Amino acid sequence: MEKPTIQLPDTWLEHLKEEFNQDYMIKLKSKLLELKKNKIIFYPPGKQIFNAFNLTPLDKVKVVILGQDPYHGPGQAHGLSFSVPENIKPPPSLLNIYKELQDDLKKEVNYNNGNFQNPSHIKSLVGIFLQTKLSQLSVMNWKILFSYYGVRLLNQRKR
């Protein structure tokens, strides 16, 4: 078995390494390498595709938000669902989420900060979705399969 080349913390890699050897992940890796070779921009950048896993050790996950990393402009997507890096104006979809949070929870929300990396802003996110300038990648279903596996793994943990 080929060693996965993905960089993840040991807490995740220990449980996910076999999943990276699945056919759909091998096809995804091949497609991403092809895009990179052909200088086709995709978002988030390669090192941030699994950003949520790198930011949150498996044993620290408290909340999971499944969703796309839908932002496709330069500097917007960084591997966390609905999040944008600091100093990037929150897009309308995120502002709508903030409005609903404020209405539902009756708490002040900082509409100027769309970065979910800070645990004090929003805790423990897992968002692993990839968007390209070309619309969707031709490798279909990887998001569903990998997300299902990740959620199943979280549900099996001892608490």
Q: Which residues participate in catalysis according to the annotation?
A: 69
Distance from C-alpha of 64 to C-alpha of 84, rounded to nearest angstrom: 17
Chain-centroid distance of CA 51 in Å reads: 6
DSSP collapsed to 3 states, 35-94: HHHCCCCEECCHHHCCHHHHHCCHHHCCCCCCCCCCCCCCCCCCCCCCCCCCCCCCCHHH
CB 74 within 8 A of CB 143: no
CA angle 137/142/143 to nearest 5° reads: 95
Distance from C-alpha of 118 to C-alpha of 115, rounded to nearest angstrom: 7
Residue among 74, 60, 84, 87 at smallest CA distance from 98: 84
